[in-house]
Chain A
Amino acid sequence: MKKITDDDLTLLYYGEHDDPSLAARVAGSDELSARFEALGEELSRMEALAPPERGDDYGAEVWRRISPRLAEARQSSGWGWFTGLRTPRFSLAGAFSIALVFAVAFFLGREGALTGPAPTGAGNTQDLVLNDLDPGQLLATSVSRHLEKLNVTFTQFANSSELSDGMADRAMDMLLANRLYRQAAESRGDKQLATFLGELEPLLIELAHEAYKNSPATQNRMQQELKDSLLFRIRVMNKQLNDSQIST
């Protein structure tokens, strides 16, 4: 009879041994049972290698971090869809509002941070104006207005077969604003709002880069996504923000 090695027992332990009689032989022998038990006990010590836990929103966090890099990654790999994605679009009309959003987001982020030196120089004038405001309320008001604009643009997109030329420019402005508000919400520790804003970004990116152009399937999918849940969720979040402003 063939001698049973530790390698055989390892295969048995992992359910990989191709001899169906081996388990019976091990069970029927004290010596083999003891060896098998020792192997199991020693390997079970590896269970101490429990990875640090990630929160429920870890997947969303990973997506938030990688999504801006995906378009570039796909292009560099030679995939042709999303042509023209690298050139950022800016409308002059949106530039001023972006600057304003940036100032608000900067203020909210700074107020939300627990530590860190206060900015000096040019930022001080802004501080004098903004220091009297409640940052939480300012964030809620600003994001609420942002969501109203998103609601209008998305509703227009969801219900139109022919899209205006200005749609992509508007979406790019809103994408940039959305990122700043998301960062401000993160800095303030408002995870729910930050996650929600992060979830809007994939669609805004596609809209800003006209992923729907020459692709009826993509346009249908984007419109369906909006109609199925996103528009509703934007309205609900907007209502929550408005309610929170009333209650404070």
Chain B
Amino acid sequence: MKNSSQKTIRKAVEGDRLAFRELVLENSHAMFNLAWRMTCDEAAAEDIVQEAFIKAWRSIGDFRMEASFRSWLHRITVNTAMDYLRKRSKRQKLEVDEPQWERVSQASEPARTDVQIDIRTQTQAALMKLSEMERAALMLRHFEGHSIDEIANTLNLSANACKQTVFRAVKKMRIELQPLVAT
């Protein structure tokens, strides 16, 4: 995610649509990546990005300039993704169906080899076994490079609880990913 200029952020906070548009152009890709890693679902990730920006615009007047805009956007994206996952989980309890990520993983990557698809599918499967909070914490730490303190703030956890969440996520992922190391 690019570091949007303070001037642009300030203008957006003051209600400037064009400045907000600039923020959308700058941050959409990174928000999509985060939303996709949270859901492993391409269409859902696109919806989450749009929804997150609408929420951001609605509450941008409350943004404090001394805070990190990137973390603020991540928090909105993660919360929107979690809402989506909860709704999906409720739906899936009512349906006897394979999880959404399995269908997506096979359909959206035609250029990859069978081994790569297998690793990717298994990694996705491992990730989807984590709780929403563990997944969010791990994604923010591993892919977005947030510090434990930033993640704690994003997920509304204490620093210690956040650390334990990351540890749990790492342990679970290692168990699942160990067999793939030799591949």
Chain A positions within 8 Å of B, measured between CB atoms, are 6-7, 10-11, 14, 16, 38-39, 41-43, 45-46, 48-52, 54, 58-63, 65-67, 69-70, 73-74, 76-77, 79, 81, 202, 206, 221, 225
Does B54 sit at the interface, judged by CB under 8 A?
Answer: yes
Chain A positions within 8 Å of B33 at CB level: 51
Q: Are B32 and A43 in contact (CB under 8 A)?
A: no
B166 within 8 A of A: yes
Stretch at the interface among B70-78, B80-88, B89-97, B119-127: B119-127
Contact with A along B97-127 (1 / 0, CB 8 A): 0000000000011000000100110011001
Residues of B within 8 A of A (CB): 15-18, 20-21, 24-29, 32-33, 36-37, 40, 42, 45, 49-50, 53-55, 57-59, 61, 108-109, 116, 119-120, 123-124, 127, 141-143, 147-148, 163, 166-167, 170-171, 173-174, 177-178, 180-181
Closest to A45 in B: B177
Expressed in whole angstroms, the minimum distance between the Cβ of B33 and any Cβ of chain A is: 4
> Main SS of the interface on chain B?
helix
Residues of B within 8 A of A206 (CB): 17
From B26, B59, B147, B180, A45 is in contact (CB under 8 Å) with: B180
Cβ–Cβ contact B120 & A43, under 8 A: no
Q: List the 8 closest A-B pairs by CB distance, nearest first.
A: A59-B25, A59-B28, A51-B36, A77-B58, A45-B177, A51-B33, A62-B28, A48-B120
On whether A81 and B15 interact (CB within 8 A), knowing A48-B119, A59-B25, A62-B53, the answer reads: yes
Q: Is the CB of B174 within 8 A of A202?
A: no
In the complex, the answer to whether B120 meets A6 with C-beta atoms within 8 Å is no
Whether A65 pairs with B50 at a CB distance below 8 angstroms is: yes
**B110 nearest CB across to chain A (Å):** 11
Other CB < 8 Å A-B pairs besides A43-B174, A45-B123, A221-B18, 12 of them?
A43-B177, A45-B180, A46-B177, A48-B116, A51-B37, A58-B28, A59-B24, A59-B29, A63-B28, A70-B54, A79-B61, A221-B16
Chain B residues near A77 (CB-CB < 8 A): 58-59, 61
Asked whether B21 lies within 8 Å of A67 as measured between CB atoms, the reply is yes
The docked-state distance in angstroms from the alpha carbon of A171 to that of B37 is 41
How distant is the Cα of A52 from the Cα of B37 in the complex, in angstroms? 10
Q: What is the bound-complex CA distance between A21 and B60, given in angstroms?
A: 43
Q: Are the CB atoms of B180 and A73 closer together than 8 Å? A: no
